[in-house]
């Protein structure tokens, strides 16, 4: 996509923003300074005027934000504020929920992922996801990691592939090792790659899920409260990993814990009840000097 | 992490290819349905259609489908269209095509008069060729070539008239002969299924997405056929049964409603033979079984889920319950005959039938009630217990009311099931083939008191009584004949009555469940 | 564990239970205890009376009703517990009675068919060592082999129909169908389960048999092929509902994990859901096989009723007799050893299906444990 296209998109976005203001649905903060915030680097994901309805329930209201590449973006807010819904819009996992309807655009590297004819397989290869509770497959550790590449035909292990010499065990081994290494799990499991993944501890399972996601070589990694089911030590390992991953990947992480957001993220978006994005800025700015009174109340624990 | 090559999110435009593949899937579907119609003798294979015999037209369509299917593969292989084809069609497809071509080879060479050895040789040769074609080339070739070839071969056989109307082949030693009338539709069904699947894969652009589309097409076809069979069965019985059921039916007149088929017996005195005794028998049978099984089943479910600690006893009960659930109905019949009949006057009787069906209903009621009780959230119990209410009070006023929807649904569906059972009452209850109205059981008026044990007796319960399913069986074994005007029409009317009785129970059961679920979600 | 420790364990357990009971008796209102004892005692007496076919059964039954009625008004909680316990035992007792009575009735036939094998006489061996069933003309023999062959033929064809179609339909309902379609298909398949078997049999007898007779130029219209297909259709709903339960019990998070990696729905089903639910799906197929084996009426009215083995063995264009149809057709007109032989057929059926049921329960329990570990 050319530079002018991007500029156009941005202008459109500002327009629609003012429209939503005139309808009176959004509160005064929408026009505050942060709306022009564009994050630190090149924009990876641009979300524009995103509305989500679950049946008659309006779960997200006109959310717009630009997510910069190779950084950590935290989404925080009280339960039911729509932050997980927002996250699931970014790889179209909301398509699974049939009552959900999504309006607006999400642009990944200049391509709208909600236009007709989008290949969901290709999208999800590029936008990986890690879930709230660890969900390894009831298979061996090795199979868990190589699952994605196998399904996409990048690695072949079947009987036929072996017969015709297309199977490349060395490549699979290398990919498994590299992904586990990157997820800081290799040292712990290198001797038991053929054990069932369900035998790992919760923290290890979650790092396995991250490794599984990395094996597909995504650009963006979405994490939905990845540490909420884990103990403090496992949590801190995951947090270190997130910071580390941001060197190569665009990480978007939903979290319940403000400390976690403050520790790991470069920019933070605050969602408050009713599915509005209230403020989005550098993490430091949000936690030290937020624009909005509601965000300040929320952060200081007076509200939410 | 920057990628060297970035695949676009939106696939290349291949609208034309997709449209052609979609058309091929649709044409396969039409061929399938027409083939089915020919198999069921709705159309004949020598009917002229557009100047051609239907059989030859089938051949032309299959030839066309086969050629296009191969075309899809070739177009993709030589990159006229961009698809996601993988290096191989996979082991499952390879195995399936091997089996298909092995069978085709054996059948064709058998028809050509080769001996067993020749058949085996040709079959193995073609099977191996199919395996190689499917497994080794890229997926787009592997999943279209063998499929297209099947259709082309079948099409050629039909077009040239090698197989067609008037063709026949005796199966040596099997006491059966194959005719064109059945083989042509069967060939069409099979070949259209294969091309439909292959074209669906092409529609999805092969690869993971193509397999998804191909599998979905087959699954939809399976489910569609099941539903078609269901609708067909019910419609068929209805159409055949309506004349009998409404024989002499009138509204108005002396009584407000006159429905002789349901209110008459089948004796000589009745001008229109009816099924009243059997209908009443079925009603009493169901009432008796429910009176025995429902309190027992619900009580047991309460004990198992509220009082009993999980252990050997509950485990044994669970195994026994599931065992009873799957015990064949005829075994229940044998049990009733051996255990109940000697204890109720040594002859087939209504009460023996009631209890036998009660034994059958018991596990159904127990399983569904237990599920319903376990589905009541523990918070209800805790909340009640926290208020200092005793356990039994909690069960009675909190757990049971909350479980009633599930229990009711289970009982109704269970009753629908046993109301149609024939085997157990065949052995325990008996009854006549064409009972007169006087043979209808008079249970309520039949109770008698006496001074000697057992003090209470009821002859109506101790007599052999007919019920709808049993009467239908008895009519069939009597060769659908009897001392009535039109035994065929009578039997179909009886079958429809039985079907309606059972389906009404099912409709109420499913409706109740739907109603309660809606209420729960509001 | 050695025998002595086992014994002490056992003793300790009894002692514990005794103390427990004593404490319970001490804590309970003596009036309530008496009522419950009278009620349960008279129920037991009534059961024994019924077993002995005594005309006096009515007396303890009346006593039970009176005691229970009185107790219900005064000591409901304790009595409810006792009565529901008694009801729980009914399933166990029923299963026990079925075993005892069917086996007892079949003993004469097993004795009649005693054959000497290597100098040892084995009762019932003759039922499986030769293939003649003839209850009328000499030599009178009661081999079950022809009927077992028929049952195997019908069950095999039925399974070939019910297993793939049933699993596909279960996948459709659990994973593929949009909610509206599911709301239509699920009750549809339940209704299919509700169509009485005699109605299937009636259609088979009046429509399918004559059609098959013409379409394949058969001697008579009875074929294992079409009986098998009809029975398969009847076993289908069992397979669908049990397999669907197994598939939906696989946690959604697992499927989502696969989809989020970019796998298609079909890939997620075949690589995650089906393997995780494999035991449940096989249990469903086993139960379907059990239904097919036990199906009676369609086989009875569609088959020829000749106890003979078809030639060649796999000829599906003959339809002679199955275990179930043998019983349904023969019972009533049979007596003596012949009737007992019908019970022997029932024993074979009962034992086979019970084994299938227990096997499928074992498989299901294993699956529940495995998935439980996953959550």
C259 contacts A98? CB cut-off 8 A? no
Q: How far is B256 from chain C (nearest CA, A)?
A: 32
Question: CB contact, 8 Å: C262 with chain A?
Answer: yes
**CB within 8 Å of B168: residues ≥ 6 apart:** B177, B178, B179, B180
Q: Which CATH superfamily is domain C144-374 in?
A: MetI-like (1.10.3720.10)
Q: Which residue did the predictor score with more confidence, C27 or A173?
A: A173
Quick one: tokens of B27? 């044409």
* List of residues 6+ apart from C209 with CB closer than 8 A: C220, C221, C222, C226, C302
Reported as a single tens digit per residue, the pLDDT across B8-62 is 677 666 778 888 999 999 999 999 999 998 888 888 888 888 788 888 999 999 9
- A92 at C interface, C-beta within 8 A: no
Q: How many Cβ atoms are within 10 Å of B29's Cβ, its own excluded?
A: 16
C-alpha B7 chain-centroid distance: 46
What CATH number has the domain spanning A3-136+200-299? 3.40.50.300
- The Cα C372–Cα C366 span in angstroms is 10
Running DSSP on this structure, what letter comes out for residue C264?
A: -
The reply to whether residue C267 touches residue A151, judged by beta carbons under 8 angstroms, is yes
Question: Does residue A97 belong to the interface with chain C, where contact is any CB pair within 8 Å?
Answer: no
- Helix (H) / strand (E) element for B287: namely helix B276-302
pLDDT over 80 at B445, yes or no: no
**Domain boundaries along the sequence of chain C:** 3-111, 144-374
Q: What percent of chain B has pLDDT over 70?
A: 95
Interface-testing mutation among C178, C179, C262, with chain A (most A C-beta atoms within 10 A): C262
Rounded Cα distance between C184 and C187, Å, is 6
A113 and B90 in contact by Cβ < 8 A?
no
| Closest to A121 (Cα-Cα) out of B79, C267, B17 | C267
Please list every residue in chain C whose beta carbon sits closer than 8 Å to the beta carbon of residue A224.
none
Return the SS3 of B257. Answer: strand
CA-based nearest residue to B465, from B340, B281, B333: B281
Residue C306 has pLDDT above 80, yes or no: yes
Tokens of C98: 């079925």
Tokens coding C91:
């399933």
Chain C residues whose CB is inside 8 A of the A133 CB are 253
Integer angstrom CA distances of residue C222 from B158, B287, B441, C310: 30, 37, 36, 12
Model pLDDT, residue A37: 60
Residue B118 CA to residue B120 CA, distance in Å, equals: 5
d(CA A277, CA A63): 6
- Rounded CA-CA distance C349/C371 in Å is 33
Query: In degrees, to the nearest 5, what angle opens at C-alpha B216 toward C-alphas B213 and B218?
Result: 115
- Chain A CB contacts of C178 under 8 Å are 98
Q: Please give the C-alpha separations between residue C236 and each of A30, B225, B516, C31, C309, in angstroms, as whole numbers.
A: 59, 13, 27, 54, 27
Query: Across the interface, do A164 and B136 touch by the CB < 8 Å criterion?
Result: yes
What is the average pLDDT score of chain B?
Answer: 86
Q: What are the residues facing A282 on neighbouring strands?
A: A267
Token look-up 């909190």 returns B398
Q: Which CATH class is domain B262-441+455-521?
A: mainly alpha
Count CB atoms within 10 A of the CB of residue B251.
9
C191 or A162, greater pLDDT: C191
List of residues 6+ apart from A97 with CB closer than 8 A: A54
CA–CA dist B259, B265 (Å, integer): 12
Nearest CA in chain C to A229: C375
- Give the minimum alpha-carbon distance from B13 to chain A in angstroms, rounded to a whole number: 9
Average pLDDT, chain C: 87
Other C-beta atoms closer than 10 Å to the C-beta of C140 total 14
For residues A248 and A229, give the distance between their C-alpha atoms in angstroms, rounded to a whole number: 26
Taking the CA of residue C367 and the nearest CA in chain A, the distance in Å comes to 12
C356 touches chain B (CB under 8 A): yes
Give the residue extent of every domain in chain B: 15-88+137-232, 262-441+455-521
State how beta strands A43-54 and A100-108 pair. Answer: antiparallel
Measure the CA–CA gap between A177 and B473, rounded to whole angstroms: 69
Residues C70-88 have a mean pLDDT of 86
Query: What does the DSSP 8-state code read for residue C31?
Result: H
DSSP assignment string, C265-305: HHHHIIIIIHHHTHHHHHHHHHHHHHHHHH--HHHHHHS--
Asked if residue C243 lies in contact with residue C338, where contact means CB atoms within 8 angstroms, the answer is: no
How many beta carbons lie within 10 A of that of residue B171, not counting itself? 14
Q: Report the candidate in C101, C334, C93 with the shortest Cα–Cα distance to residue B340.
A: C101
Can you give the pLDDT at residue B270?
Answer: 67
Alpha-carbon distance of C197 to B19, in angstroms, equals 45
C370 interface with A at CB cutoff 8 Å: yes
* CB–CB contact C297 B510 (8 Å): no
Distance spanning both ends of chain A, measured CA to CA: 40
Lowest mean pLDDT among A78-87, B181-190, C203-212: A78-87
Contact predicate B369/B406, CB 8 Å: yes
Strands (E), B278-321: none
Cα–Cα distance, B180 to B158 (Å, whole number): 10
For residue A223, the SS3 value is strand
Which of A244-248, C61-65, C201-205, C218-222 has maximum average pLDDT?
Answer: C201-205
Task: For chain A, give the mean pLDDT.
Answer: 80
Q: Where exactly are the structural domains of chain A? A: 3-136+200-299
Among the ranges given (B147-151, B346-350, C206-210), the one the predictor scored with the smallest mean pLDDT: B346-350
pLDDT > 90 fraction of chain B, expressed in percent and rounded: 34
What is residue C6's predicted lDDT score, i.e. its pLDDT? 62
C372 at A interface, C-beta within 8 A: no
Residue A97 has pLDDT above 80, yes or no: no
Q: Which residue of chain B comes nearest to A120, CA vs CA?
A: B9
SS3 of residue A281 by DSSP: strand
> Above 80 in pLDDT, residue A133?
yes
């Amino acid at each position: 996509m050319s530079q002018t296209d991007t500029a156009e998109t941005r202008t459109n976005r500002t327009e629609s923003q003012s429209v939503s203001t005139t309808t009176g649905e959004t509160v005064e903060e929408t026009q505050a300074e942060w709306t022009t915030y564009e994050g630190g680097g090149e924009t990876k994901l641009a979300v524009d005027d995103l509305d989500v309805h679950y049946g008659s329930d309006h779960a997200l209201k006109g959310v717009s934000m630009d997510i910069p590449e190779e950084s950590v973006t935290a989404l925080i807010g009280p339960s039911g504020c729509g932050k997980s819904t927002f996250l699931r819009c970014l790889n179209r996992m909301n398509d699974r929920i049939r009552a959900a309807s999504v309006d607006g655009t999400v642009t990944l590297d200049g391509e709208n992922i909600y236009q007709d004819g989008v290949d969901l397989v290709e999208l999800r290869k590029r936008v990986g996801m890690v879930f709230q509770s660890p969900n390894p497959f009831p298979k061996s550790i090795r199979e868990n990691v190589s699952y994605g590449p196998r399904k996409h035909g990048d690695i072949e292990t079947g009987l036929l592939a072996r017969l015709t010499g297309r199977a490349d065990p060395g490549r699979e081994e290398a990919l498994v090792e590299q992904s586990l290494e990157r997820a800081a799990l290799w040292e712990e499991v290198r001797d038991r790659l053929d054990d069932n993944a369900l035998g790992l501890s919760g923290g290890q399972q979650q790092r396995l899920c991250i490794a599984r996601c990395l094996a597909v070589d995504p650009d963006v990694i979405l994490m939905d409260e990845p540490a909420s089911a884990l103990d403090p030590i496992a949590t801190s390992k995951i947090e270190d990993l997130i910071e580390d991953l941001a060197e190569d990947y665009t990480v978007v992480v939903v979290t319940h814990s403000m400390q976690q957001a403050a520790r790991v993220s470069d920019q933070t978006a605050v969602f408050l009840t009713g599915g509005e994005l209230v403020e989005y800025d550098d993490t430091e700015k949000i936690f030290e000097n937020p624009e909005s009174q509601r965000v300040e109340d929320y952060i200081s624990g007076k509200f939410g | 992490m920057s990628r060297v090559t970035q695949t676009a999110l939106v696939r290349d435009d291949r609208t034309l290819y997709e449209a052609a593949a979609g058309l091929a899937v649709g044409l396969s579907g039409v061929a399938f349905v027409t083939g089915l119609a020919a198999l069921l003798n709705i159309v004949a294979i020598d009917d002229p259609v557009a100047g051609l015999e239907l059989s030859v037209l089938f051949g032309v369509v299959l030839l066309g489908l086969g050629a296009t299917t191969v075309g899809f593969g070739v177009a993709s292989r030589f990159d006229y269209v961009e698809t996601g084809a993988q290096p191989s069609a996979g082991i499952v497809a390879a195995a399936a095509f091997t089996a298909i071509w092995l069978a085709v080879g054996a059948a064709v060479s058998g028809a050509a008069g080769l001996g067993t050895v020749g058949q085996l040789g040709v079959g193995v040769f073609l099977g191996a060729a199919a395996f190689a074609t499917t497994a080794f080339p890229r997926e787009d070739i592997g999943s279209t070539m063998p499929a297209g070839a099947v259709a082309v071969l079948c099409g050629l056989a039909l077009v040239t008239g090698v197989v067609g109307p008037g063709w026949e082949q005796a199966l040596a030693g099997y006491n059966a002969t194959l005719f064109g009338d059945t083989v042509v539709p069967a060939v069409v069904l099979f070949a259209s299924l294969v091309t439909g699947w292959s074209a669906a894969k092409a529609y999805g652009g092969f690869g993971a997405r193509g397999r998804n589309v191909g599998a979905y097409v087959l699954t939809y076809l399976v489910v569609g056929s099941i539903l078609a069979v269901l609708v067909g069965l019910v419609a068929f019985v209805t159409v055949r049964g309506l004349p009998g059921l409404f024989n002499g039916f009138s509204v108005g007149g002396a009584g407000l409603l006159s429905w002789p088929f349901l209110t008459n017996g089948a004796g000589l005195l009745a001008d229109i033979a009816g099924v009243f005794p059997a209908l009443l028998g079925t009603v009493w049978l169901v009432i008796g079984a429910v009176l025995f099984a429902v309190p027992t089943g619900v009580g047991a479910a309460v004990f198992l889920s509220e009082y009993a600690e999980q252990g050997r006893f509950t485990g044994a009960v669970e195994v026994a319950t599931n065992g009873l659930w799957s015990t064949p109905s005829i075994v229940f019949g044998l049990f009733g005959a051996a255990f109940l009949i000697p204890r109720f006057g040594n002859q087939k009787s209504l009460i023996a039938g009631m209890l036998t069906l009660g034994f059958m209903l018991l596990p159904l009621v127990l399983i569904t009630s237990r599920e319903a009780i376990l589905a009541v959230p523990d918070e209800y119990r805790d909340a009640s217990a926290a208020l200092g209410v005793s356990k039994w009070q909690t069960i009675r006023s909190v757990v049971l009311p909350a479980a009633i929807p599930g229990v009711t649904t289970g009982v109704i569906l269970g009753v629908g099931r046993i109301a149609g059972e024939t085997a157990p009452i065949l052995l325990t209850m008996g009854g006549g083939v064409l009972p007169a109205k006087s043979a209808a059981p008079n249970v309520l008026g039949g109770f008698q008191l006496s001074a000697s044990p057992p003090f209470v007796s009821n002859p109506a319960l101790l007599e052999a009584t007919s019920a709808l399913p049993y009467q239908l069986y008895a009519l069939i074994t009597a060769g659908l004949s009897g001392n009535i005007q039109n035994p065929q029409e009578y039997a179909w009317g009886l079958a429809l009555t039985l079907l309606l009785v059972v389906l009404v129970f099912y409709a109420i059961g499913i409706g109740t469940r739907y109603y309660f679920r809606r209420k729960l979600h509001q | 564990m050695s025998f002595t420790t086992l014994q002490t364990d056992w003793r300790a357990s009894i002692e514990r239970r005794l103390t427990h009971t004593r404490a319970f008796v001490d804590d309970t209102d003596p009036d309530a205890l008496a009522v419950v004892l009278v009620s349960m005692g008279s129920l037991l007496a009534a059961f024994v009376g019924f077993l002995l076919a005594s005309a006096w059964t009515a007396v303890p039954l009346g006593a039970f009703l009176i005691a229970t009625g009185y107790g219900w008004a005064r000591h409901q909680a304790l009595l409810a517990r006792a009565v529901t316990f008694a009801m729980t035992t009914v399933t166990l007792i029923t299963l026990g009675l079925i075993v005892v009575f069917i086996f007892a009735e079949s003993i004469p036939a097993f004795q009649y068919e005693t054959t000497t094998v290597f100098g040892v006489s084995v009762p019932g061996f003759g039922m499986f060592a030769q293939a003649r069933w003839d209850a009328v003309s000499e030599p009178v023999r009661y081999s079950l082999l022809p009927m077992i062959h028929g049952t195997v033929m019908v069950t095999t064809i039925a399974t070939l129909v019910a297993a793939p179609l049933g699993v596909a339909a279960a996948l459709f309902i659990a994973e593929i169908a949009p909610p509206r379609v599911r709301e239509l298909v699920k009750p549809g398949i339940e209704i299919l389960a509700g169509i009485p078997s005699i109605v299937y049999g009636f259609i088979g007898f009046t429509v399918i048999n004559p059609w098959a007779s013409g379409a394949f130029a058969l001697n008579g219209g009875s074929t294992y092929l079409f009986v098998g297909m009809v029975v398969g259709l009847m076993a289908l709903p069992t397979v669908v509902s049990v397999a669907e339960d197994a598939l939906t019990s696989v946690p959604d998070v697992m499927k989502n994990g696969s989809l989020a990696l970019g796998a298609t729905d079909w890939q997620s089903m075949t690589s995650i859901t089906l393997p995780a639910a494999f035991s449940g799906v096989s249990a469903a197929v086993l139960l379907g096989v059990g239904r097919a084996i036990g199906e009676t009426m369609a086989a009875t009215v569609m088959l020829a009723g000749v106890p003979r083995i078809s030639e060649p063995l796999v000829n599906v264009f003959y339809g002679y007799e199955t275990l179930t149809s043998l019983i349904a057709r023969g019972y009533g007109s049979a007596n003596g050893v012949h009737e007992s032989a019908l019970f022997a057929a029932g024993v074979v059926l009962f034992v086979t299906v019970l084994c299938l049921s227990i096997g499928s329960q074992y498989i299901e329990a294993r699956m529940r444990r495995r998935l439980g570990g996953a959550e």
